[in-house]
Amino acid sequence: MSDRAKWFDRVFDLGIPVGLLPNMIERLRGTPARLEELVQGVPTEIRLAAADGAWSIQENVGHFLDLEPLWAGRVDDLLAGAKVLRGADLTNAMTDQAKHNSAMLPDLLTRFRELRMTLVRRFEALDDEQQLLDALHPRLDQPMRPVDLALFVAEHDDHHLASIRQAIRAGGSLK
């Protein structure tokens, strides 16, 4: 399925009920296990294959890890009363330069799990008033509350999980 939507082309219908934050937290909590299960047993040559500048499966795994500081920083922005959330590096330079293919896959997965559980605990610790805070997402030009941010992160997770699954089926990186 080569016509999958590109992440930056996605449009989000934010403004879901604040009461759905626990549901979004469960999606975030489950991502490390889903990722681990997905890549378990994938042969190294398939996991590290890259084509035409696309990320390998393992680089996609590393990308999860690379973005955790951004998500945590956006929670910081909300709690600090920022008007605009910090922007992402739309070039993904961190992932491109990280040399994730040289890392041990279990190390990437463990580090991602640790950082993700920290993010989950931060979302869980928000009180009712903090759950109503909002700030403008710089690329989407829409206000985001914690529940919207959690949805955005969960959707980003699913986007990359689907990419990884597609690459596994194709025998390596997608063009």
CATH number for the domain that contains residue 98: 1.20.120.450
Is 8 among the domain residues?
A: no
* First CA to last CA distance, the chain: 11
Split into its structural domains, the chain has a count of 1
Is 1 among the domain residues?
A: no
Query: Can you tell me the mean pLDDT for 18-45?
Result: 97
Is 60 among the domain residues?
A: yes
| Token digits of residue 126 | 């928000």
Say if residues 3 and 133 touch (Cβ distance below 8 Å).
no
129 pLDDT band (50/70/90 cuts)?
very high
Query: Can you tell me the mean pLDDT for 5-10?
Result: 63
2 pLDDT band (50/70/90 cuts)?
very low
Is 46 among the domain residues?
A: yes
- Residue 66 burial (CB count, 10 A): 20
Is 55 among the domain residues?
A: yes
172 pLDDT band (50/70/90 cuts)?
confident
Q: Which structural domain, as residue segments, surrounds residue 79?
A: 36-170
pLDDT at residue 101, as a whole number: 95
List the one residue out of 127, 174, 168, 171 whose CA is nearest residue 37: 168
10 pLDDT band (50/70/90 cuts)?
low
Is 70 among the domain residues?
A: yes
State if pTM tops 0.95.
no
- pLDDT > 80? residue 9: no
pLDDT at residue 1, as a whole number: 36
List the one residue out of 140, 121, 109 whose CA is nearest residue 38: 109
Residue range 61-102, pLDDT digits in tens: 999 999 999 999 999 999 999 999 999 988 888 898 999 999
Is 43 among the domain residues?
A: yes
Q: What are phi and psi of 137, to 5 degrees?
A: -80, 125
- Please, where are the H alpha helices in the chain? 21-39, 44-47, 57-79, 93-97, 105-124, 146-170
Is 11 among the domain residues?
A: no
